Amino acid sequence: MFGWTSPPPIVIECDGFKGSLGMLFHLARLRRVNLLLVPIQPVCEAYLSYVLQNDEPDLDAAGAALVALAYLIERKAHALIPVDEVEAEDLEYGDRDALERSIEEYLPAIEALKDGWTAREARFFRSVEVEDGAYELPFELGDVKADDLARAFERLLRRATPDPIETLQRSRRSLTEHMNVVMATLTPEFRSLDDLVEGEYTRTDAVYWFLALLELIRLGQAQVRLDESEVAFARGTGN
């Protein structure tokens, strides 16, 4: 189902299903469970609690659970789209007029999805289309490689404390605001992440720190280099 990895043992109990997340995914793919009777939000909250409460979660299992949740959300969203029984019967027998009526009915939704996709693309600095099968960062990193950045981020995560469990309705943190915090911390001298990020912080804090640094490097407001095989950061030359 997931190759050699299965989702963590997240148990689901409701009127429509009782069992594990992996089994729900399996039965949903076989269309043997009615997802309309299975609330997805508590399952997502259980997954979030699993990730936050484990100091060292199994990333392979967590990734498999994320794949399962994405599939279940997509299938339930599809099941929630209303379909008129008469039109559905007409379409089954190839009624062209019914097909045209169905397309016209969902045109506003299609346009809304297209607008959402356009807005999503504008939030990223590279296209989802990758030429020649290769991915290149759109800015110079000198002798620093992706593996060097990954190791620095991994060390930062080791020192982090688990995030407190909060409601899903909490306000989303602003990356722009965190970039201002990072800029105030950077100095003209190159310093490692261990020197820059002091005191106690959570895993979410670590993620925002790292994303803010990458964005500042892309904008030319921060620099990165290797100091004796350790990644170090400093303010950009133009600051």
> The domain that contains 193 carries what CATH number?
1.10.10
Crossing angle for the helix pair 59-80 and 41-53, to the nearest 10 degrees: 170
Q: How confident is the model over 113-132, as a mean pLDDT? A: 59
Mean of pLDDT values over 87-96: 50
Mean pLDDT across the stretch 40-44? 88
- Whether 93 and 110 map to the same domain: the answer is yes
Are the C-beta atoms of 212 and 175 separated by less than 8 Å? Answer: yes
* 72 and 59 fall within a common domain: yes
Give me 65's structure tokens.
């659970």
Residue type, 221: Q
Asked, for residue 156, whether it belongs to a domain, the answer is yes
Look up tokens 């299903």; give the residue: 17
Q: Tell me: do 40 and 62 sit in the same domain.
A: yes
Shared domain for 108 and 158, answered yes or no, is no
Number of domains in the chain: 3
Mean pLDDT across the stretch 123-127?
A: 50
Give the span between the Cα atoms of 213 and 104, in whole angstroms: 46
Mean pLDDT of 220-225: 90
Q: Has residue 6 got a pLDDT over 60?
A: yes
- Find the mean pLDDT for residues 106-130: 63
Q: Which domain holds residue 165?
A: 146-235
Backbone angles phi, psi at 9, to 5 degrees: -75, 70
Same domain, 72 and 93: no
Query: Do 157 and 97 fall within a single domain?
Result: no
Report pLDDT for 177. Answer: 87
Whether residue 229 sits in one domain with residue 159? yes
Judge whether residue 143 has pLDDT over 70.
yes
Question: Which of the four pLDDT bands, split at 50, 70 and 90, describes residue 98?
Answer: low
Q: Same structural domain for residues 212 and 166? A: yes
Instruction: Verify that 89 and 8 share a domain, yes or no.
Output: no
Average pLDDT in the chain: 77
Is 130 within a domain?
no
